[in-house]
Structure formats: structure tokens, C-alpha cells
């Protein structure tokens, strides 16, 4: 119900859906805390909710939260990425996801340590877990903001792949705290295993899914198979120590570009796409509501200085990473304009994954409970500012710098629809006559379907609530039994008629 209300408010008020969910979570927490202070059964209910949330986040790499909620979000985004768009941006996106995270961790940690006086362990732990752009937030933002496909692919791919880098660096720092020496060779080999094996597992599971998909035609079975590919690739990769999120991302790319195009009937393809859209919507709703629930404004207000310092360090680290790397690729022909670089800078939002990672830190000889509390406050504060401030700025900047699609007239809609319909008829005729192969037929059908989807997206389809209420009221009124007229009125009428005759 909360997700539905947030979606309605987002559309009506023209503000990001993510922002509405976070603020709703904050508001619910404030109200619940006020009631809980009075004691009673509600206080016990709040304690149980906190316990469930803690259980979700416990475990390596973010616990059940990352394992259950994040994979569908990554998979749903990846199945919509086209190989042609990915090919154009794969080098800068992977550079941002690997070298970029390492640079951001180093710069952010040094700023907090040298300029703001935090301990080196706290500084670099925080920088490592906050350096990757949050998959949940980025995918949701670029699903709703209208930017060129190549730019969206660049940032979506960075977000999907940089989690592995961030988790590896975070784990290395956490495991080597207190040691005098870091095994560099072992760390590099470990990272190569995490990334490389994750890619291989994603390809292998997706290929097996394609073979099985070619044997079935049932929509429900195809959907269940897609679920098995997502969680199967994640579980297999995680189980042997590789990156489950990388495996899911690669499986999604393969599934969207090959399996859904060549091994699925159109009806099954539509059913699978719809299922994952719903799954992604629910996953986003859970993730951002959790951020709101965990954001205690009173606690954050008492730590304003350290939160502002942390956000400043994160912002500088992102700038030092994005602008030089994308400028280099632009110089060598990648065509990444200054506007695109600014969007990449603003698009580096943080959120649920960092909150999940910080929950895995435990006390040690070097990290105290006070340090852990500080890290929690910094992460929650930066995530809150990032979503509340950065996301609206991104929406505003994109609408100002990139031309948005305008609503077309009814005549133009009819003309474009007729044109798309005629193209589809031509493709169907060519297929019937055997002039094109099944692969060409599927490709052309997908191209026309995309054009039709784009046309629908720009069409003003609205239903006024007043009309619905009037229609239902009319049906209700007509269904009511007729009220007979009172006899007194009939007698008066008869008397008046008789008098008139006389």
C-alpha cells in the first residue's frame, strides 16, 4: 500500500519516487517512535521489526537483503540493455567500476583522515563501502529520468559491476585491520577470481537457461526459468566465493540479448518482462523504505558536522574519479560530452547497498563500538543527503540540458501508429514468403515493438477520477429500486384534473 501511495504522489507532485519512499519511511519512523515511547504492545512490535531488519542485513556482503532484493533489480535493468549500446560504453563503464572505485576509496579515505582527523581505519572503511554507486538507487533513477540510451547504459553498467570492486576492497580493509602488511598479490588474485568467475558463471547459467527455454513455450514455465537463472547464478557464484551480483548482471545481459530474442515466443517474452518489472518495483520500494526507516533525523542532526564532512569527501572523490576518466575516453573517441560527465557526477548516488555493508562490521581490537556507530551515522547521513538532494538535482539538470520527449497530437499518433502497423505487416509477409530468417523476423519485430512502446510513452493516456466516480454512481443509482409516488400527491393531481375539466 505504501508503494502504491508513493507512486501516486510521485506522479502527481512530479518528484522522484525514491524521494517519496524515503521521506515516507522517515515519517513513519518518527510517528512510530513517538507512540513506542509510551510503552505497551506497540513498543514490542517495533522491537520485533528492528530484529527482522537486523537479520536481513547480517552475513557477508550484505546478508539476505543483498541476496534477495538486489539481484532482481540488476537483472531487470540488464535485460533491457542492448549489446550495441553496451559495446559503445563498456570500456569507460568498467574503468569507472574498477579503477574508479579504487581511486574514490583512496581519495575519500585520505580526505577524512588527513583533513577531518578521523582514524585511518574508520576513514578508509567508510570510503570503501560508500565508493560504489548504489545499484538500487542508480537503476531506479535512470529508469525514470529520460537520458540517451548510451548514457543510461554507461551508468547502469557501472552500478551493476562496481559492487564487486567495492565489496572486495571493503573486505580487504576489514580483514587486514591491525596487520602491518597487506598481501597485494593475493588481493589482486582474489579480485580477479571474484570478477572473472562471476562473469563465467553468469554466462554459463544464462546459456543453460537459453537451452531450456528453447524446449518450452509456456509463459509461466518461462518466468520460473528466468527466476532460476537469477537466483541460481547468484547462489552458485556466491557459494564458491565469486561475485553473485556480477554473475546476475552478466546473466541478465545474455538473457536479454539472446534468450529472450531467439528462444522465447512473443507472449512469453512479454510475460517475463512484465514479471521482472513488477519484481523491480517491489524491490525498489523495499530498499528505499528501509533507508527511510533507518534514518533517525534526531540522531543525524546531532552529527551534522561529521555527516557534512563525509558527504564532502564522497563528492570530491566522485569528481576526481568521473571527470578525468571520462575525459580520457572522450579524447580517444568515446564521445562523452561535458553534459554527460555532469550527469555521471550527479548520478553517483549512494543508498541501500552501503547501509547493508556497514551492518556487517563487528568490533575488533582496532574498531570499537563507537567507531561502528560513527560509520552507521555517516553512511545513513550520506545516503539520505544523496537521495534527498542529489536525485532532485539530477532530475532538474537532465530536464534542463537534455531535450525531453514532447506530447504528440492525436493526428500524429494515428499516422505513426499506421506506419508502425504497415511495417509489421510487411515483416510478417516477408516471413511468410520465406524471404527473411527467424532471427531477422524476431529482430525486426522487436524494433517495431520498441517504436510502439515509445509512441505509447508519449501518448497522453489519462482517466479522470471524476468520470470514474460519476460512472459508478450512475450504475449504483440505476440499480436502486424505484420509489413509488405517494398517494396524496396522486389524489391532489386527480382533484386538480377534475377541477380543470369542470
The pLDDT value given to residue 41: 59
Choose among 385, 289, 16, 343: nearest CA to 156: 343
Question: What is the percent of the chain where pLDDT is above 70?
Answer: 73
In 3D, which of 371, 343, 348 has the Cα closest to residue 358?
A: 371
Spatial contact of 379 and 129, defined as CB atoms under 8 Å apart:
yes
Count how many Cα atoms sit within 13 Å of the Cα of residue 375 in the half-sphere of its side chain: 30
Sequence-distant (6+) residues with CB within 8 A of 94 are 157, 158, 161
Closest CA to 103 of 393, 291, 320: 320
pLDDT attached to residue 33: 67
Report d(CA 295, CA 314) in Å as an integer.
19
Average pLDDT of the residues in 172-185 = 66
Model confidence band, residue 13 (pLDDT cutoffs 50, 70, 90) = low
C-beta separation of 154 from 93 below 8 A: yes
* More confident call, 375 vs 291: 375
| Residue 185 CB coordination number (10 Å) | 7
Locate 191 and state its grid cell.
579480485
Which pLDDT band holds residue 479 (cuts at 50, 70, 90)?
A: low
> For residue 150, how many C-alpha atoms fall within 13 Å in the half-sphere facing its CB?
14
Top-confidence residue, 150 or 13:
150
Cell 552529527, residue located: 303
Phi and psi torsions of 146, nearest 5° = -95, 105
- CB-count burial class (<10 Å; 0-12, 13-18, 19+) for 187: middle
Is residue 265 within 8 Å of 221, Cβ to Cβ? no
Instruction: Give the pLDDT score at 461.
Output: 47
Higher-pLDDT residue of 452, 407:
452
Q: Given this model, what pLDDT does residue 434 score?
A: 81
pLDDT of residue 166: 81
Q: Does 111 score more than 70 pLDDT?
A: yes
C-alpha cell at 114: 588527513
What is the chain's Cα-based Rg?
A: 28
Can you give the pLDDT at residue 364?
61
Q: Taking a C-beta distance cutoff of 8 angstroms, is the pair 365, 66 a contact?
A: no
State the alpha helices, DSSP H only, in 214-303: 219-239, 244-254, 266-294, 297-301
Residue 407's pLDDT band, with cuts at 50, 70 and 90, is: very low
Residues 6+ apart with CB under 8 A from 241: 193, 194, 197
Average pLDDT value for the chain: 78
Residue 59 binned pLDDT confidence (cut-offs 50, 70, 90): low
Whether the pLDDT of residue 34 is over 50: the answer is: yes
- Domains delineated in the chain: 2-37+45-401 (1.20.1530.20), 415-457 (no CATH), 465-501 (no CATH)
pLDDT of 283 above 60:
yes
Whether the predicted pLDDT of 419 surpasses 90: no
User: How is residue 233 written as a grid cell?
Assistant: 547464478
CB 253 within 8 A of CB 430: no
pLDDT tier at 451 (50, 70, 90 boundaries)? confident
Per residue in 113-163, pLDDT tens? 999 989 888 899 899 889 888 766 677 677 777 788 888 888 888 888 887
Phi and psi torsions of 196, nearest 5°: -65, -45
Cα separation, 326 vs 335, whole angstroms: 9
Are 130 and 379 in contact by the 8 Å Cβ rule? The answer is: yes
The CA distance from 321 to 105, in Å, is: 10
| Model pTM above 0.85 | no
pLDDT digits (tens, 9 = 90+) for 312-371: 999 999 999 999 999 999 988 878 899 999 999 988 888 777 777 777 776 665 678 888
Q: How far apart are CA 375 and CA 358, in angstroms?
A: 7
Cβ count within 10 A of residue 240: 12
Q: Is the pLDDT of residue 106 over 90?
A: yes
Check residue 323 and give its pLDDT: 95
Confidence band for 255, pLDDT divided at 50, 70 and 90: very high
Q: Taking a C-beta distance cutoff of 8 angstroms, is the pair 390, 349 a contact?
A: yes
Report d(CA 405, CA 415) in Å as an integer.
17
* CA pair distance 88, 85, nearest whole angstrom: 5
Amino acid at each position: 500500500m505504501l508503494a502504491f501511495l508513493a507512486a501516486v504522489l510521485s506522479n502527481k507532485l512530479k518528484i522522484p519516487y525514491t524521494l517519496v519512499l524515503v521521506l515516507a519511511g522517515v515519517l513513519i519512523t518518527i510517528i512510530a517512535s513517538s507512540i513506542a515511547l509510551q510503552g505497551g504492545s506497540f513498543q514490542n512490535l517495533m522491537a520485533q521489526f528492528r530484529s527482522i531488519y537486523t537479520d536481513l542485513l547480517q552475513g557477508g556482503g550484505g546478508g539476505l537483503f543483498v541476496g534477495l532484493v538486489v539481484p532482481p533489480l540488476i537483472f531487470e535493468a540488464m535485460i533491457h540493455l542492448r549489446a550495441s549500446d553496451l559495446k559503445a560504453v563498456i570500456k569507460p563503464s568498467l574503468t569507472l567500476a574498477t579503477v574508479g572505485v579504487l581511486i574514490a576509496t583512496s581519495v575519500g579515505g585520505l580526505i577524512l583522515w588527513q583533513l577531518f582527523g578521523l582514524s585511518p581505519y574508520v576513514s578508509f572503511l567508510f570510503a570503501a563501502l560508500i565508493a560504489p554507486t548504489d545499484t538500487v538507487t542508480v537503476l531506479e533513477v535512470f529508469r525514470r529520468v529520460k537520458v540517451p540510451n548510451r548514457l543510461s547504459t554507461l551508468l547502469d553498467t557501472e552500478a551493476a559491476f562496481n559492487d564487486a570492486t567495492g565489496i572486495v576492497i571493503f573486505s580487504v580493509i576489514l580483514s587486514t585491520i591491525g596487520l602491518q602488511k597487506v598481501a597485494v598479490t593475493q588481493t589482486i588474485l582474489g579480485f580477479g577470481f571474484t570478477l572473472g568467475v562471476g562473469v563465467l558463471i553468469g554466462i554459463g547459467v544464462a546459456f543453460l537457461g537459453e537451452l531450456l527455454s528453447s524446449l518450452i513455450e509456456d509463459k509461466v514455465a518461462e518466468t520460473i526459468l528466468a527466476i532460476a537463472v537469477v537466483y541460481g547464478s547468484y547462489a552458485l557464484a556466491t557459494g564458491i566465493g565469486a561475485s553473485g551480483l556480477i554473475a546476475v548482471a552478466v546473466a541478465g545481459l545474455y538473457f536479454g540479448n539472446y534468450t529472450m530474442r531467439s528462444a522465447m515466443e512473443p507472449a512469453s517474452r512479454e510475460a517475463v518482462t512484465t514479471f521482472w518489472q513488477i519484481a523491480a518495483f517491489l524491490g525498489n520500494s523495499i530498499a528505499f523504505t528501509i533507508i527511510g526507516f533507518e534514518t533517525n533525523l534526531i540522531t543525524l542532526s546531532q552529527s551534522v558536522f561529521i555527516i557534512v564532512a563525509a558527504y564532502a569527501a564522497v563528492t570530491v572523490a566522485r569528481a576526481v574519479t568521473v571527470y578525468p576518466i571520462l575525459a580520457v575516453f572522450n579524447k580517444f573517441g568515446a564521445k562523452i560530452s561535458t553534459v554527460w560527465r555532469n550527469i555521471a557526477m550527479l548520478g553517483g548516488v549512494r543508498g541501500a547497498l552501503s547501509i547493508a555493508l556497514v551492518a556487517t562490521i563487528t568490533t575488533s581490537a582496532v574498531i570499537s563500538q563507537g567507531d561502528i556507530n560513527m560509520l552507521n551515522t555517516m553512511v545513513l547521513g550520506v545516503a539520505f543527503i544523496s537521495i534527498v538532494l542529489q536525485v532532485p538535482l539530477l532530475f532538474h539538470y537532465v530536464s534542463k540540458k537534455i531535450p525531453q520527449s514532447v506530447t504528440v497530437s492525436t493526428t500524429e499518433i494515428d499516422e505513426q501508429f499506421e506506419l508502425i502497423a504497415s511495417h509489421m505487416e510487411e515483416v510478417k509477409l516477408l516471413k511468410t514468403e520465406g524471404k527473411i530468417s527467424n532471427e531477422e523476423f524476431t529482430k525486426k519485430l522487436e524494433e517495431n515493438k520498441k517504436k510502439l512502446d515509445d509512441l505509447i510513452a508519449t501518448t497522453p493516456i489519462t482517466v479522470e477520477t471524476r468520470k470514474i466516480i460519476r460512472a459508478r454512481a450512475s450504475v449504483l443509482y440505476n440499480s436502486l429500486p424505484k420509489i413509488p409516488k405517494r398517494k396524496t400527491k396522486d389524489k391532489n393531481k386527480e382533484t386538480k384534473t377534475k377541477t380543470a375539466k369542470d
